[in-house]
Structures are given as C-alpha cells and as structure tokens.
Chain A
C-alpha cells in the first residue's frame, strides 16, 4: 500500500524574485501587464545549519549550487519544518538539472587549455559534476537519506520529483527535498541562438500565432515533500498531493507521441480520466515547433478535453527554465489549487490554430480537483505529473 505524499514547502528563485509570495505576485501582475523574466540571479551566500562541519567549503560552491542552496533554504523555511528535530537518515534529497555543471566544466577546461593540465583549478574541478550541488545542499541541511541527481534536460525536475515521491510513497523515508536548478552560460545561450530558439523580441508567447522563440532563464525551484499523515499531525500547510507521475519517449521524430505516452502513463497511474483534469500547467515556452508538439501530445492523450481544460503557461512569465520546467509547474499548480485562482498566460494574443488549446490569457477563478503538469523534454522524451487539491 503506497503512502500519500503532499507538498508542504515551496522555494522558487529566479532573476527577479526569491520565495513564492513575490513570485505569485509577479505572475498575477505579469499575466496582466505582460512582462518577461530573464537574466542572471544574484549570488547567494549559503547559510548552512549551525551543526554543519567544514563550513568554509561553501565558499567553493558554484552558481548552480548556490541557486539550489537558496531555493532549499526558502522551501524548508516555508514548510516550517525543523530538520534538526528529524533523524538525518529520514530526510533525503533529489536534484534535477538540465545542463548542470556546464559552466564549471567550461571554466575548468578553459583553464587547462590555456595553462596546461597541471595547472587545473582543483576548486573548480570539484564542481564539475552535477551532483556537486546535491552534495552542498545535503551538507548544509544535514540530509543523510536517499539521494539522487538527474541531468535529463527539461524533464530533470520531474524525474527528481518522481524519485522523491517514490521514497515517501514506499515508506523508505517521511520527508524528501526536491530541488531543480539551472544556470545560463554563454555556450548554452550561443547554442540556443544558433538553432533559432531564442526570441528576437525577447518575449515568450506560448501557443500564440506570433510566437518567435523563448528567453533563457536561470533559476531554481525547491519543494518539500512529506508523507500525508506526518504532515497532517504537525499541522503543516499542505499545498497539494502528488497522485502519480508518468514518463514517455519516442524513438522516431514524434515528440507529440512521447508527451502523450507520459500523460497517459500518469493518468493511468493516478486512476484518473482526462475529464477529471481541471487545469494544465503547460511546459510550452514559445518555441515555434515544440508548442505544436505539446498541443498535439495533449490531444492524443486527453482527446477533446484537451481543447476544453484551462491551460496556463508559466514560461510566458519566467522564460525557458530548462530543468526547472516541471518543478515550477508543480509550484504554480500548488498556488492555484490552494487559492482557486489560475494565473493567465502572459503575452497571449491570438491562438495558433495548430495549437487548439483553451489557453488562458487572463487570470480566472477555478476550482480544479486535479491538475496536470506535462513537460516535453529534449529528443522526444517527456514526463508528467498529476496533482490533487488538498481539502
């Protein structure tokens, strides 16, 4: 018998906000005013727990780790969970990142190419694995439970969420920290630009007929997951319940099929019908092609309900958040399920007829019991999660 798993802490960080309240305000304003997010995130000084040994090691944390550390600090504070009261082995961490330590790898290799193999910088080298960030967070928070790191492009955040969900659902631990993070380095930006993925207007317009690409956005998003009964006992705010995750891919060129496979898998495992989904937090970013694949995938998996269910696009406000796509979707779903208010899709003017979805331009009241967060990843991979409102 699987245990129920709920989200009890939210910790988003991006270029303009830190914490869910300012982010939510930004969403409420942005959906009316149409303002996009992008750019670097201010450097964060980690605040390791008092018991932490070797506190000086945090000076060596790179930008990716600092994003993750900041997001986790926020999420843990939001959950009002006192981690020092829990057994360290009973709290684990799952980290997801799209491009991970790319910036650290570039920095290390550039040093070696300029100065030779013997003069590589050992401090930079220790950050050249994606799980370095996982390590810093686990040291800072004293997390000695299950640990995993995923570097699977845009689906990475939901893969981390799934790992964490499973640890609690199967009773291995009672609490898991999920965190995703991604930085934007020049090599990544150059590649997106060379492939024509970046919006010349610097305005992401998902599903809009005039969309012209996306805007890259660094950031991190942390979630505290707890076993339902434990969270209830301590009187925690339960933002939402995780019902099921799903995954899919397609060996050919059919990204829509991959997304459909993931959504069908998630719905099947949640024992839910498409008609029960009351809101979709789409991963569409304003990409000329991928938005069409996403729409087709939703239609394949959900039938005509895909054209009726309210759809909102967090990336219209946040830009392309890479490995954070799924976790930010889960966070926005939590705020929507809790408040009954669906923030609209910014910059949305005229729907592309090739994307016949019920895209919400302005905010509106909703009372969904179930929400869906689908993420179309790179190379015909996809993930999805079904979430339930907590009574």
Chain B
C-alpha cells in the first residue's frame, strides 16, 4: 500500500457555465450561472429551468448516449490537462471509475420509442450503466481497474474516493475518476412528481427555498500517486487526503433529519485525513435547496464541527450549475479546489434570507476572498448514502 497521498493532476469538465478549469474558475469567482430554460426537450411542466450543457461539435459522437459523450469529453480534457501520454496510461495500467445517477436514460427512452429491431439493438448497447465506463476506457486506452458506481447524487464522489483507494492500495498509480449525468425526461419528470423542483429559483439555505434546479454535466479528474506525480514534475491541483462514506439507514428518499449518516461520513473522512475540524477552512455542502436536505446537512455540520460550525464558511454551487446528480460530487469538489487555488470561496447564488434552521456561515452574494489550505466537500443522496472528501493545497 502506498503511503503517499493522491494528487489531482488533471481536470476536465463540462457544465452549463464552463468547459475548462480556467473558465470554471472565472465563472465561480464572478457568480455566473448557467441555469436558464431547457431547450433540448419539452419538460411538460410550467417550469423549465435547468443547467444545460452545450456539447462542442468535436465532442459529439452520435452513436453514444449523451451521458457518454459528456463523460468522454471531460475525460479527454482531463488527460490532456494532466500532460500524460497514451503510452504512460498504458504502461501504468491506468484505471477508471465513473459515477452516474441516471446513466444512459436517453438511450432507454429512445429504445422504448423505437419499433426498429436494428435501432433497438444499437441503442441497447448504450443502455447499461457500465456503457459509460466502456466508452471512456476504450477511447483513452485504459487497461487497469474499471468500474461504474451508482449512488444517486453521491456517485461521482464515491468514484473519486474509490479511485483514490485503488491507488493507495497499489492496484495502479493512475486513475481517471469522476462522473456524468445528462438532463432527460426521466429525471425532470421524476423529480417534478416528487415535488422536489423549484418553481422560482434554487436558493440553498434560504428561508424562501422551494426546491432544486436540475443540471447536467461531467467532471473527470486524473488522480495520481503523489510520488508518481512529483517524479514526472506534474502540476498538482490538490491532494485528496481523506474520504468517507456512511449510510443513514432511515428512508428510501428522505435524508435523516439530524444528518446522522453525513456526520459519520465526515468523521470518517477527517479520520483518514488525520485532520481536526479546526484545520478545515471551507466546507462545500450539497445544498440542494430542498426543504429536507439543507437543514439536515447543517445539523450534521453542527454535530461534527461544534462551535467551529459558526465560523467555517460553507456554500452550495447548485444555483450556478444546477443539480448535476451523479456528476455533482466531482464538479463541486473541483469547483471548490479551483476556488482554493484562486484564494476564494465561490458564492451561493440567490442566498438572501437566512433560514434559522440552516444557521451556518453561508457565503452568499459574492465570492469571498480567503486563503484556503484544506477543504471539505460533502454530498448526500437517495437511499441515505453520504460521502465526504477532504482536499488540501500542495
């Protein structure tokens, strides 16, 4: 088992407000939102907001499901950003871990609409969740451990954590890890009938919040054994120094009101990182803007951080990019790391009237200039799953 940490040496992403680490940094600093009316399909509802991604023409590959196109595009960008060659990926038996919540739902929808056996067969190749990993791995030429994790909104957080473990345990020195989800009829309809969607605007931690706004996107990181990265002189965005996961064991769709699973996940991540809450400079929360989620995770933060919870700055990036479901974990971790490198905490857009049940130090309005040495990113999901990741400057 490697004693060194795990370095992030490449970033690739596509969100509704950015297509690179540089443009994401700028968007987060400026508080630029990519949320607007969805144009790709009819939502069937009076509200139609979403964080839609414009997939560049060079990344469009018609035979792939949209979620795979998003994932492949981000993965290619991440590898390019890392400076690793194809031969380096081959010689190290680099692996891949992809997280997704909804998977290739668009292909399934098309398959169910189709009466053409040939078309159905072609579409079914894309339908299994593992098709995303296959499509990315084949295009990057990976020969290491490959897996797909599906834990709803914590999927890509789990993918990043799992990939770190594969490196720490010595299965490989390099992993590409992250997640992707696309906006589809399935997710828009489903969250709408669950009454989880906002009719106005996504306002995490705000007294007037009335739900979330969906987004789509993909984020992929090149994760590398820290020693390996240093030996090749790679740029290191940050080190992932701990992560943890835990279940609520409470309800299929609702979080535990006291956020007990999340509190356990945070404690596990801090234990692995060998850090105390006093050393955490910023917490990026899930912050969906739903009635149940926001107070629950604030309770978890209060439970773990104690008095420190009153001062540590927290935020949610979802008003800017929408809830990107399985991609949320990696995209929001990445955004927070880019903020750490830029010396600021990205703002929680639309946060104006604090909710007493969410009485943390929420960064609203504008980005807050601040030196960040260590940050924590937390996500929670359907099924009571929670993941927390700790990252620090190198």
> In the complex, are the beta carbons of B137 and A194 less than 8 A apart?
no
Instruction: Please give the distance in Å from A253's CB to the nearest CB on chain B.
Output: 10
Q: Which of A53, A105, A117, A250 contacts B44 (CB 8 A)?
A: A117
Q: Does A25 contact B (CB under 8 A)?
A: no
- Residue A88 at the B interface, CB < 8 A? yes
Asked whether any CB of chain A lies closer than 8 Å to the CB of B140, the reply is: yes
| A153-B251 contact, Cβ under 8 Å, with A139-B384, A144-B260, A251-B141 | no
Q: Which B residues, 109 to 127, have Cβ-Cβ distances below 8 Å to chain A?
A: 109, 111-113, 117, 120-121, 124, 127
Per-position binary interface string of chain B over residues 137-161, scored 1 when its CB falls under 8 Å from any chain A CB and 0 otherwise: 1101111111111111000001000
- On whether A131 and B383 interact (CB within 8 A), knowing A100-B150, A379-B130, the answer reads yes
CB distance from A5 to the nearest CB of B (A): 14
What's the Cα separation between A248 and B162 when bound, in Å? Answer: 16
Q: Which chain B residues lie closer than 8 Å to A135 at the CB level? A: 247, 251-252, 382-385
A49-87: which have CB < 8 Å to B? 53-54, 57, 60
| Residues from chain A with Cβ under 8 Å of B109 in the complex | 109, 113
Q: Chain A 269-282, CB within 8 Å of chain B: the 1/0 string?
A: 10000000000000
B261 within 8 A of A: yes
Q: In B227-270, which residues have CB < 8 Å from any A CB?
A: 244-253, 260-261, 264, 268
In the complex, identify which listed stretch (A118-126, A348-356, A363-371) lies at the interface while the others stay far away.
A118-126
Report the Cα distance A251→B93, complex, angstroms: 10
A147, B245: Cβ atoms under 8 Å? Answer: yes
Contacts A93-B247, A122-B193, A147-B245 hold; do A139 and B117 have CB atoms under 8 A apart? no
Give the residues from 126 to 160 in chain A that come closer than 8 angstroms, CB to CB, to chain B. 126, 128-132, 134-136, 138-139, 141-153, 155, 159
- Interchain CB contact under 8 A, A117 and B189: yes
Q: In this assembly, does A180 line the interface, its C-beta being within 8 Å of a C-beta of chain B?
A: no
Tell me if A106 is interfacial: C-beta within 8 Å of chain B.
yes
- Check B143–A146 contact: CB distance below 8 A: no
Tell me if B43 is interfacial: C-beta within 8 Å of chain A.
yes
Give per-residue flags for B185-219: 1 if the beta carbon is below 8 A from chain A beta carbons, else 0: 11011101110000000000000000000000000
* A residues less than 8 Å from B128 (CB atoms): 98-99, 102, 151, 153, 378
The residues of B that contact A151 with a CB separation of less than 8 Å are: 103, 128-130, 148-150
* Beta-carbon nearest neighbor of B121 in chain A: A194
Is A289 in the interface zone, CB < 8 Å from B? no
- B190 near A120: Cβ-Cβ < 8 Å: yes
Whether A145 contacts B151 by the Cβ 8 Å rule is no
Residue on B with the closest CB to A97?
B150
Shortest Cβ distance from residue A133 to the other chain B in the assembled complex, whole angstroms: 8
Whether A166 contacts B169 in the complex (CB less than 8 A), given A131-B381, A139-B252, A187-B124, comes out as: yes
Residue from A139, A144, A257 with most neighbouring chain B CB atoms (10 Å): A144
The CA of A128 and the CA of B152, in the complex, are separated in Å by 9
Q: Does B330 contact A (CB under 8 A)?
A: no
Establish whether residues B190 and A138, one from each chain, have CB atoms under 8 Å apart when the complex forms. Answer: no
- With the chains together, A144 CA to B264 CA distance in Å? 8
Residues of B within 8 A of A (CB): 1, 42-45, 90, 93, 95, 101-103, 105, 108-109, 111-113, 117, 120-121, 124, 127-131, 133-134, 137-138, 140-152, 158, 162, 165-166, 169-171, 185-186, 188-190, 192-194, 244-253, 260-261, 264, 268, 381-385
A to B CB contacts below 8 Å, 11 in the list: A105-B105, A112-B185, A117-B185, A131-B382, A139-B250, A148-B149, A159-B147, A190-B120, A249-B95, A249-B145, A265-B171
Q: Which 5 A-B pairs have the closest CB atoms?
A: A135-B383, A117-B44, A247-B145, A125-B190, A379-B134
List 11 extra interface pairs beyond A144-B264, A148-B149, A247-B95, CB under 8 A. A2-B1, A89-B246, A125-B194, A129-B382, A131-B150, A131-B151, A135-B383, A136-B383, A145-B246, A150-B148, A249-B144
